[in-house]
Structures are given as C-alpha cells and as structure tokens.
Structure 1
Amino acid sequence: MNRQITNEETDQLFQFCRRHYVYHYDVQVELVDHLASAIEEQWEENPELSFDEGLKNSFKKFGIHGFSKIKSQKVKELRRKYNRLLWHYFLEFYRWPKVITTFVCTLGLFLLFQVIEKSIWIIGSFMLLLFIGVILYHFLIFKKAKIEAIPGKSFLLVDQYSRVTQTYSVIAQLPNISFQTFNILGLKSIENIWILLGLSFFMVALTVLLYGQLFYLPKKIKEHFLEQFAEFAV
C-alpha cells in the first residue's frame, strides 16, 4: 500500500506554508493539498524517501515566487467569481419580471426631470441620499454584519468581504464630484430629453449596482465562508 500523508505531516505542511509567508488559511489549504499530492507521487516511485526530502523536492517545483503566484491567482479567482455574481445580480433587474420595477423607476425619474426645471437639484439630491445611505450603512450594518474569524486565522474571503463593502468610501465622494462637474460646465439644468433619459437609466442602474455591491455580495461571501470554514467563525 502506498504511503500517505499523516495528520502530523499535514500540520507540518501548514507550518511550512506559514514559514514561507502564506498567512491566509484558505490559501494554505490549497498549497498543503498541492504539496501533499506531490509528496505522495514521489512516494509511489520511492517509498523510502523521507517526508522532509519529499517536501524539499516538491517546494522546488514551485520556484522562488511559486507560493506568491498561487496566492495572486487565488485573489484573481475570487475577484472574478464575485464580479460575475454581481454582474448576474445586476442583469436580473433588466430581465423579466424584475425589469418592470427597473422600467417604472427609470420612467418615474425621467418624468421628475421633466417636472423640475433645475436638473442639478435632482442629481444633487440623489447623490446626497447615496451619501447618507452609505454613512448609515457603515455605522448600522457594516460593523455588525462583517465576518468574524477566530483570532490567529486570516482568510482571503474575509479580505474580499472588506474590499467589497468598503465601496462606500468612493461613493462618499460622489456628491462633491457631481456639483464640481456642474460648476465646471456651468450647468444648472439639462433640457435634452435623451441625456435626461440616459441619466435616469444611469441613476437607477447605479442604485441597483450599489445595492448588489453592499448587500448582495457581502451576504454571498459570508454564506460561502460559513460553508467552507464554519469552524473558524466567531
């Protein structure tokens, strides 16, 4: 029967990863799996090979920057995964039946532009509401909903959660950017109906996108974390 990695040797592999500056547990798990498989493959050819020699040979295959490359790949995979989820969530609002709600909101906003003469007040109010919303989000939701892992464990998924939810730091600048843009262009109102229609579409789409970024994605990331690492959640 071929030799297999023991629990004690698995612990040594985790320690080996930490010694080589891999601190995220979800990355360590992937690396340990790679290293264990590589060592067991060597044992199939040479059962007398020691664990330390097998580990040394396996590590050589990764190269000097091998571990950091795997971490970078993992980060990219997570970003692509959650960007796809966000894009899918966003597009649902432009498919049946949610498109009805999106269409009504866009049309309502467009009609509001027709009624109120100064477009800047509508846009400014919208941006101000976004600003107030993200402030409330930060103090009432973010701090209570964030993922808590046991001390001594770090996870790329937790980092991804923080990256996703900290979008509000960018949103907070939108009101100032909007007013500055109008001041530079010397605009108080926009009369072109196509521009107003485009603005209505953009404002509704931005609202959907931000809701997905601040509520839907964090919820999904937290679900995935609890599915994979429930024993490390506080």
Structure 2
Amino acid sequence: MKLTQNHIQELYKFTKKHYVYHYDVQTELVDHLANDIEEIWEEHPNLSFEDARQKSFKKFGIFGFMDVVEAKQKQMNKRYRKILWRFFKEWFTLPKIVITLTIFLSLFFFFQIQYSEYFLLGILFILVGFDLFNQGKARRNQKNKVKNEDIVFLLEDMIGQTRGVFSWLVFCNIFNTINAFKISFSSIENHWLLLISFSATLIILLFYVTAYLIPEKAEELLIETYPEYKLAKSL
C-alpha cells in the first residue's frame, strides 16, 4: 500500500503540529515517516494511516522530532559558518583589500583626533537607529510569512536571526568598551591604536557581511543550498 498525496500533506501538517516549522526539516521527516509507514503497512496492511503514523512517530522517542531538529540546526550552523568565512575572506583579496586597508587607516587616524571616542558614540547611535529600522522591517516580513503559512527554510531563518544577534553584540560591546576605559583614544600609544583599529576593522567587516551582504545574497544562497527551493516557493 502506497501513500497518497493527501497523506503526504497530512504528514507535513503533523510535523508542523509537533513544532517543526522549517520546510527542509519537515521534508526530511516526511520522507522518513512515509517510508516507515509503507513498511509498517507491509506487515500490518489493515492498520489505518493514523495508527501507522503514530506507530512510526513513537520510534523517535519521548522527545519526538526535537533530536532531529537539533541535529539539523547543528548541521546548518556549520554550513552558515562556511558561508560567513567565504564572504569574509573576499575582503582580503583584490580589489576589496584596498577598501579594507582604507577602513583600517581611516580608523587609525580618526582615533588620534581628540575626543574621537565621543564622535564614535554618536556614529554608533545613528547606526543603531538605522539598523533597528531595518531589523523591524525584516521581522515584519518574517511575521507575515508565518501568518500566511509561507514556506520558510532553516538557513533562511538563520540568516535573519544571526543578523539581529550579531548587530546587538557589536553595538553593545563597542559601547561598553568605550565606557569601561576612561582613557582618551588620542592619548594611547600608536601600537595600541593599530591593534584597536585592526580589531575595529574586522568587526565592521563582520557586521557588514552578516547584517547586509549575506541577507542580500539570501536568495542565491538558498538556491545553492536547497535544490528544491525554487519549486517549493512556487507552490
């Protein structure tokens, strides 16, 4: 006995009911459940679809699909780190290395200006406001997807979440560092200013890659990661 298309749709609903919200994870679980249910039917042909499904689901243990979801999240975290590293490395190749050096030297000379830390705080607050506005738009789009029951992939969700988390880490750490050290940047020796400028350059690049570059390339990355992405979005 084979599963019908209606059965498959019921399995998708079943996984969502058990807190699996990402389409790629749902698809993997549905494929596993479908194969297992058909094997169960070979041994127990009179068993109803619901009973066979429940029998298959019990094999996942007391935590249900949570172990599978966690495993997929770890797997996708590794993939995301590789994507991040790929985009980040590009800033140390021509012609972007020129932009990187320009940022580094600009920061180095900027920090030598008296009271530069206060200018930096002002710039920081402006960036916070701008980024909060962009994050608000992104969250509204995500809520609309959930409300409309649109298909959402795990990597797609991860890109949005990482953007917000990294932004706040950057802003908070810079703000706390400036307030923790009451020494003016202009009075610090040059070798320390070089180190601060280098660290700030790396942070700026990471922020740009996670907050803007990767989200802009999200569609391309999703097509690269999921062969079924275009087909799923057209459903």
Bin of the TM-score, shorter chain as denominator length: 0.7 to 0.9
- Which sits farther off after the overlay, 54-63 or 15-24? 15-24
- 1:209 maps to 2:202: no
Cα distance change, pair 229–195 in 1 and its aligned pair in 2 (3 A): farther
Q: Structure 1's 204 and 23: CA in aligned 2 closer, same or farther, altered over 3 A?
A: closer
RMSD: 3.1
Q: Does 1:230 align with 2:233?
A: yes
Structure 1: stretches of 5+ with no match in the other structure: none
Q: Say which is worse superposed, 154-163 or 55-64, in terms of deviation.
A: 154-163
Cα 1:228–1:191 change in 2 (3 A) is farther
Find the aligned partners of 2:13 and 2:111 in 1 and give their Cα distance: 62
Tell me the TM-score normalised to structure 2 length.
Answer: 0.76
Tell me the residue number matched to 2:168: 169
Which whole-Å CA distance do the structure 1 matches of 2:25 and 2:60 have between them?
A: 14
Query: 1:125-145 CA distances to partner (integer Å, 9 max, x unpaired)?
Result: 334323312311322x33445
Task: Look up the equivalent residue of 2:145 and give its one-letter code.
Answer: A
Query: Which one-letter code corresponds to 1:149 in the other structure?
Result: K
Tell me if structure 2 keeps the 8 A contact 1:106–1:200.
Answer: yes
2:216 is the alignment partner of 1:219: yes
Go from structure 1 to structure 2 and tell me whether the alpha carbon gap of 1:162 and 1:101 turns closer, same or farther (over 3 Å shift).
closer
Q: Does residue 188 of structure 2 align to residue 194 of structure 1?
A: no
Counterpart amino acid of residue 135 in structure 2? F
Percent of aligned positions with the same letter in both sequences? 32
CA 1:123–1:174 in structure 2 vs 1: closer, same or farther (change >3 Å)? farther
Q: State whether residues 24 and 153 of structure 1, in contact with CA within 8 Å, keep that contact through their aligned partners in structure 2.
A: no
Letter aligned with residue 33 of structure 1: D
Q: Deviations over 1:57-113 (max 9, x none)?
A: 322321111401112222223333223212221121122332222123213332444
Amino acid across the alignment from 1:142: Q
- 2:132 paired with 1:129: no
Change (3 A) 1:65 1:162: same
Structure 2 residues not aligned, in runs of 5+: 224-228
* Structure 1 residues 102 and 153: CA distance shift in structure 2, 3 A: same
Give the C-alpha shift of residue 182 in structure 1.
1.7
| TM superposition score normalised by structure 1 | 0.77
1:125-164 equivalent positions in 2, closer than 5 A = 125-139=119-133, 141-145=134-138, 146-147=141-142, 148-149=144-145, 151-153=147-149, 155=152, 156-157=154-155, 159-164=157-162
Q: Matches of 2:203 and 2:231 in 1, distance apart? A: 32
